[in-house]
A and B are shown apart, each in its own frame.
Chain A
Amino acid sequence: MARTTRVLPGFGPTLGLTLTWLSLIVLLPLASVFLKASSLSLSEFWNVVSAPRVVASYKLSFGMSLAAAAVNGVFGLMLAWCLVRYRFPGKRLVDALVDLPFALPTAVAGISLTALYAKNGWVGQYLDPLGIQVAFKPLGVMVALVFIGLPFVVRTVQPVLEDLDIEHEEAAASLGASRWQTFRRVILPVLLPALLTGFALAFARAVGEYGSVIFIAGNIPMVSEITPLMIITKLEQYDYVGATAVAEVMLLMAFALLFVINGLQAWAAKRTGRDR
């Protein structure tokens, strides 16, 4: 076997350490979830995970997470575009603000969003007469998830956009492409892999979000309970096995969705000729 000489040695130890670390930190907890849940028989397991209240929570959690990630996909792209392409006073401040949802403790975000969107809140008092209720409704869950997911899209799209030479747009225009054609045919295909990554990250974060959501959701059974809350509720009732059963379902669904999104990314990368 031909060996390449490297300046820094240590393939063996680093690989060993990496695998051990990964096992301890990631695989072991996941395995324990499956192990714990396996103490249920198949029918018991099914009964726990298909209880109407739990199913309603899946719909809310995954549905609102997808919706929030989609909203972030659109507005995050716009924000990134604005930050990369234009110079305006306060740009650095706006740029810094994007990271705020990362840094802010989720409970703080939850409480401030609730204060804003409650019926007597700053924003809620104007929405209420229009018949729009945000707090304590599924819509409120989405608002919180949009808030925490925004930086993921902006920060993944931004560097790719910075790389995208303005000459490409000029070339498209000189070839007779309209503004929409230029965006659709020249800019979007190049951004798509990054946009999908941002979308996936925002989505994954949203599915797992707990702190900021429970305040604004109001946690009304069958209406605004998220799946992580179902797990907590079961834990509080000392139903450890039931909690892990729900957790297992969440885990599998999240896995499946990440696979789908990874597949999409690979497809987009292939279409843009980047893997060649």
Chain B
Amino acid sequence: MSIQVRNIAKRFGGFIALDDVTLDFPSGELVALLGPSGCGKTTLLRIIAGLEKADGGQVLLEGEDASAKHVRERQVGFVFQHYALFRHMSVFDNVAFGIRMKPRAQRPPEQAIRAKVQRLLELVQLDWLADRFPSQLSGGQRQRIALARALAVEPRVLLLDEPFGALDAKVRKELRRWLRQLHDELHITSIFVTHDQEEALEVADRVVLMNRGRVEQAGAPEEVYRHPATPFVYGFLGAVNLFHGRVDGEGLRVGDDLLPHPAQEGGLSEGARVMAFARPYELDIVPGDEAGGGIAAKVSRVLSFGVTARVELEGSDGQHFEVELTRERASALGLAVGQAVRLAPSNLRVFEYEEGAGI
């Protein structure tokens, strides 16, 4: 089922949680709402579920205005960050809860309920835990049971609020992959909220980036990563090096150094304050410190235990830079801690300066 939100606004006292948010969630997709804490992503999810009431705007479920509908009637499956399993019920009873709460006329016979719960427990690969109580399960198991419980009522959409937020790194990674597989099996329209960019990029079909109650960018993971629309998106998705400077003729003036960049072609006027971004792998290190070859920096640390070598550097004003090189390139350079070098970007993304762009 498709979900659309139209001009949703929400305030908590003086705090604007959501500011005129309009989004489309096409049917059958797995979408990630990504942003820092306090950006409004959870509030948006709760408004879609009907757990929170918007101050203005509409939520359309399959084109039909659901704004006035109670959460009970929206047929959404909601998975909470802290699972919210009923601790006085066994795993089986937790999963069966939604079916047993149906009015008598719609309730299937007990035998059918048993079979269905069994199927769901098999789906989440935990059928051997049916008789346990939630307190006897690990965090990852609880989250999968919570998911099975939400799926039991055959929801039209699945909403997950930071589903892996309370789990440790290894379990998170496992569950992520598992969620993706599950979605490929069920094809139920799903939205999940996360503040972990890696999680969002890895799992979702589409990523919606939010900041301060607004949507910054929405698109496929590849697209938002390769072509960030705003400085915020650039900074939020992955490690990044930031240069503050001004447009100066054919290039950018950063401190005393000049970076060649066709900034004026991008519609920026001479002398405009800008912020320029480069990913760690888009910077090269040039030995020597003669002017004109890039930005002056000093090597402060070389980490070469992975496939690539990571070099941490310090700019002249104490700014931190991070460069990723191939191991061959790093050993050819023969970098030593404290060595003065130049940073030459192979690719720069330039934005006009924005106050507090959130980086």
Contacts and interface: CB of A to CB of B under 8 A. Distances in A.
A91 interface: no
Interface of B: 49, 51, 70-72, 76-78, 80, 82, 84, 86-90, 97-98, 101-102, 133, 135-136, 149-150, 152-153
Contacts of A174: 49, 51, 71-72, 76-78, 150
A272 B87 contact: yes
Contacts of A271: 88
Interface of A: 165, 167-168, 170-178, 181, 185-186, 189-190, 271-274, 276
B84 A167 contact: yes
In the A-B complex, list the 8 residue pairs whose CB atoms are closest, starting with the nearest. Answer: A272-B88, A175-B98, A273-B133, A167-B84, A171-B84, A174-B78, A177-B101, A189-B88
Nearest to B161: A167
28 contacts: A167-B82, A168-B84, A168-B86, A170-B51, A170-B78, A170-B84, A171-B80, A171-B149, A172-B97, A172-B101, A173-B51, A173-B72, A174-B72, A176-B98, A176-B102, A176-B153, A177-B72, A178-B72, A178-B101, A181-B101, A185-B86, A185-B101, A186-B86, A189-B88, A190-B88, A273-B135, A276-B133, A276-B136
A171 B82 CA distance: 11
A118 B89 CA distance: 50
A273 B87 contact: yes
Given A185-B97, A276-B133, A175 B88 contact: no
Contacts of B136: 276
A166 to B, nearest CB: 9
A162 to B, nearest CB: 15
Nearest to A193: B88
A122 to B, nearest CB: 42
A189 B51 CA distance: 23
Contacts of A276: 133, 135-136
Contacts of B49: 174
Contacts of B78: 170-171, 174
B80 A167 contact: yes
A107 B240 CA distance: 75
B47 to A, nearest CB: 13
B64 to A, nearest CB: 18
B80 A175 contact: no
Contacts of B72: 173-174, 176-178
Nearest to B88: A272
A164 to B, nearest CB: 10
Contacts of A175: 97-98, 101, 149-150, 152-153
Contacts of B87: 190, 272-274
A119 B141 CA distance: 65
Contacts of B97: 172, 175, 177, 185
Contacts of A274: 87-88
A105 B82 CA distance: 46
A4 B72 CA distance: 53
Which of A165, A176, A178, A186 has the largest number of chain B CB atoms within 10 A? Answer: A176
A272 B134 CA distance: 11
A189 B102 CA distance: 19
Contacts of B71: 170, 173-174
Contacts of B149: 171, 175
Given A165-B84, A177-B98, A272-B88, 4 more contacts: A171-B84, A172-B97, A175-B149, A185-B101
A136 B72 CA distance: 51
Contacts of B51: 170, 173-174
Nearest to B49: A174
Contacts of A171: 78, 80, 84, 86, 149
A186 B149 CA distance: 14
Which of B76, B86, B136 has the largest number of chain A CB atoms within 10 A? Answer: B86
A170 B82 CA distance: 12
Contacts of A189: 88
A168 B84 CA distance: 5
Contacts of B152: 175
Contacts of A185: 86, 97, 101
Contacts of A190: 87-88
B1 to A, nearest CB: 16
A22 B65 CA distance: 68
B80 A170 contact: yes
A185 B97 CA distance: 9
A172 B97 CA distance: 8
Contacts of A172: 86, 97, 101
Which of A181, A186, A271, A273 has the largest number of chain B CB atoms within 10 A? Answer: A273
A24 B77 CA distance: 60
B45 to A, nearest CB: 12
A74 B109 CA distance: 34
A190 B87 CA distance: 8
Contacts of A178: 72, 101
A243 to B, nearest CB: 46
B83 to A, nearest CB: 9
Contacts of A181: 101
A170 B149 CA distance: 13
A201 B102 CA distance: 38
A20 B78 CA distance: 57
Nearest to B81: A167
Contact of A176 (B84, B88, B90, B101): B101
Contacts of B102: 176
Contacts of B133: 273, 276
A176 B72 CA distance: 5
Nearest to B97: A175
Contacts of A273: 87-90, 133, 135
A165 B86 CA distance: 10
